[in-house]
């Protein structure tokens, strides 16, 4: 592998690793937020479905924001075309948070003995430029084969013009 710049580890993996449910409950009990309803005799659930959905949306926005600002490694072939894979009707551009994650992937493929060419890209460049250029539904798979994350081709992650959940006629979410 080669690199012309210093490797910077993406903090995205910190967000991907979620706490165990028991730990989340302890944290929520110590620091309730404005979305946590008070317990009542009728309902012993600490968070409503709407509050859970709002929390999940905030977490996703945080993860996407961190990824957009992170410099990631994108393996390329001899023509500088990014390494991709197709799964579930979506083409996934493979990206890695650091050389160690890329090396783990190479070893898992049985290709750890060859040199892997890669380019360093900002996550925003992948989502805003590379994904639309593919021409088919496309997302980004970070640290594929490890504890990574998927950034699917949906509104709020990729441009609306290539998001699979946005109607092309009106620009509305499907």
117: left (phi over 0), alpha (psi -120 to 50) or beta: beta
Specify the DSSP class assigned to residue 99.
H
165: DSSP letter: T
Written as six digits, the tokens of 30 are 């110590």
- Under a CB-based contact definition with an 8 Å cutoff, are residues 72 and 102 in contact? no
Q: How far apart are CA 138 and CA 131, in angstroms?
A: 6
- Residue range 80-116, pLDDT digits in tens: 999 999 999 999 999 999 999 999 999 999 998 889 9
pLDDT at 83: 95
Q: What percent of the chain has pLDDT over 70?
A: 69
Model pTM score: 0.68
The half-sphere exposure of 143 on its side-chain side, counting CA atoms within 13 A, is 19
Answer whether residue 12 shows pLDDT above 90: no
Over the stretch 20-65, which tens digit does the pLDDT of each residue have? 344 344 444 444 444 444 444 445 456 688 888 889 889 989 999 9
* 128-174 per-position pLDDT tens digit: 999 999 999 999 999 998 888 999 999 999 999 999 988 765 555 55
Residue, of 76 and 8, whose pLDDT is higher? 76
User: What is the pLDDT at residue 40?
Assistant: 45
Angstrom distance (rounded) from CA 129 to CA 158: 9
Is residue 153 within 8 A of residue 164, CB to CB? The reply is yes
Give me the pLDDT at residue 103, please.
92
What pairs with residue 121 in β-bridges?
A: 72
Give me the pLDDT at residue 46, please: 60
């Amino acid at each position: 592998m080669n690199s012309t710049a210093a490797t910077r580890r993406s903090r995205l993996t910190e967000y991907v690793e979620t706490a165990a449910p028991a730990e989340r409950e302890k944290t929520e009990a110590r620091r309730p937020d404005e979305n946590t309803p008070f317990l009542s005799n009728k309902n012993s659930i600490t968070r409503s479905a709407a509050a859970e959905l709002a929390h999940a949306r905030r977490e996703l926005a945080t993860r996407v924001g961190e990824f957009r600002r992170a410099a990631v490694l994108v393996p390329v072939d001899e023509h500088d075309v990014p390494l991709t894979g197709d799964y579930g009707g979506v083409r996934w551009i493979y990206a890695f948070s650091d050389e160690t994650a890329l090396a783990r992937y190479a070893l898992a493929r049985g290709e750890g003995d060859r040199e892997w060419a890669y380019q360093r890209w900002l996550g925003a460049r992948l989502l805003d430029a590379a994904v639309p250029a593919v021409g088919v539904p496309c997302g980004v798979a970070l640290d594929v084969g490890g504890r990574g994350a998927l950034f699917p081709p949906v509104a709020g992650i990729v441009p609306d013009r290539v998001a699979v959940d946005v109607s092309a006629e009106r620009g509305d979410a499907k």
